[in-house]
Structure 1
C-alpha cells in the first residue's frame, strides 16, 4: 500500500511544479514590459532635454547677433547723420562762395564807377575773379565730395576761359592747370553710382532669399506589429513629442551640423543681412573704404552661412564682384593753380 501511494505523491508534486511555472511566465512578461516602458520614458526625457539645451544655446547666439545688429544700426544712423552734416556743410560753403562772388562783382562795379577803369583792365579783373571761382569749385568737389569728374570739368572750364583771354600773363596758370588735369586723369575710375545701384538691387531682393532649412523632423515610426498595443502613458508620450516638434525646425547644413531655429527668430537673419548691405552702401557713398570692405565681407559670410537657392547664388556673385573693387583712391593736390591765381590777384 505504501508503494502505491509513493508514485501518486510524485505525480502530485510534478503537477504542482508545472502550475507554478505557468503562473510565473505571465509575471515575467509583465515585468519585461514595465522595464521597456521605463527605458522608453527615460530616452524621451533625455531627447527632450537635449532639444531644450540646444534651443537655449541657439537663443543665446541669436541674442548676441541681435546685439551686434543693433550696434550696426546705431553705426548706420551715425553715418547717415554724418553724411547729412557733410552735405549741409558743403551747401553752406557753396553759399559762401556765391556770396563772395557777389561781393566781388559789387566791388568791381564800385571800382569801375569810382576810378573809371579802362575796359581792358576791367575785363582782366573780371576774368581773374571767374577763374578763381572755377578753381575753388574744382577743389571743393574733389576734397569734399571725392568728385573727380566734377573737378575735371571745373578745371577744363577754367583752362578754356584762360585760353579765350589770350593773355601771356596766364601762361604759368595754364601750365599748372595742364598738370592738375593730368593728375586727375590718372586717378582710378570708380563707378560709385553703379555700385550703389547694385547694392540697392540686392537690398530689394533680401526678402526673396530662402533660409537654409532641412526637412522638419518626421513623426516617430510606428512600433512593430509584434509589440503589445500602446497604453495610455505611451499615447501621452507621443503627444508630448509632437508638441516639441511643432515648436522647432531643424536646419541642416552640408557639413552635417544642425541647429534648432525658432520660426520667430528667422526675422533676425534677414534683418542682420539687410543692415550689412546698408552699411556697405553708406560707406561707399562716404568713401569709407574699411567700413565698406568689412560690411561686404560680413554680408558674404552671412549669405553663405544661412541662405540657399538661385537668388542666393545670384546675390553671392554680385557681392563677390563688389569685393574686387577698391574704393579708397589717393586724390591729387590741385590747389597749386588756385594759390598762384590768388597771389596774382594780390599783386594786382
Structure 2
C-alpha cells in the first residue's frame, strides 16, 4: 500500500525566460528613441527655416526701406533742382526789373534836371506830333518795305524828339521807346534780303552738267545712228533724267526761271508763291541729274531756302506808338 507521500508529485521547474519579449521591448525602445530624435530634428529644422525666413523678410524690409530712402532722395533732389531753376528765373526777372528801375531812375533824374531849367518853354504838342509821325513812319517802313535800317533811324529820331519833352507823364513812354529801340537793334539781317541773296548765289552757281557717258557713246556711234538719233531717241519708260543737250538746256532754263520766280515772290513777301517756286525747282534738279551726293546737297539747299522766313517778327513793334496815343487821348 502506497503512502501519501508517494502520491505527491515533485514540484515542476520554472519555465525558461522568453527571448522574443525582450527583443520586442528593445525594438520598441529603439523606435521610440528614433521617433524622438526625428521629432527633435524636425523641430530644429523648422526652427532654422523660420529663422531663415525671418532673416529674408528682414532683408527684404531693409531693401525696401533703402529703396524708399533712395526714392525720397531723388524726389528731394528733383525738388531742389526745381527750386534752383525757379530761383534762377526769379533772379533773372529781378535783374530785369532792377535794370528797368535804373533806366526809370535815370529818366526821372533827366526830367527833374529839365524841370529845374528856367528856360524850358517848348512846343510840347508839336514834339509829340513829330514823335508820333516818326514812330508811324518807322513802323510802316518795317512792315511794308522791310527797311530795318530806316525803322531804326526813325526810332532813333523819335527818341531824340521825345527827350526834349519835360513832362513827367511821358517818362514811362520814353522807357518803352528805349526797350523797343533795343529790340530793333538786336535784329540781324532782314529775312527777305537774306533769302534773295541766297537765291542769287544759287542762281549764279548753276551750270550745265558735263557730258554723261551716254552722250560720249552717242558721239562715237556710227553715222546712221548719229543721223537718225536726233529724230528718234529710245529710252526706258522709267527714265526721267534729261540726257539730250537740248533737253538739259531747257531743264536748266526752267530751273533758272523758277529761282527767278522765287526771288520775285520773296521781294513781295509772297510766302506761298516763294515755296511753290522752290518746290518746282526741286523737280528740275531731279530732271537734270541722277541721284548723287551733289544732287542731295542741292535739294537740301533748296529746302533750306524754302524754310526761311520772309518777314521780321517783332512782338513789341508799335507798343510805343500805341502808348503815346493812349497818353495823348487821356491828356
Which structure has the larger Rg? 2
Instruction: Using structure 2 for the length normalisation, give the TM-score.
Output: 0.49
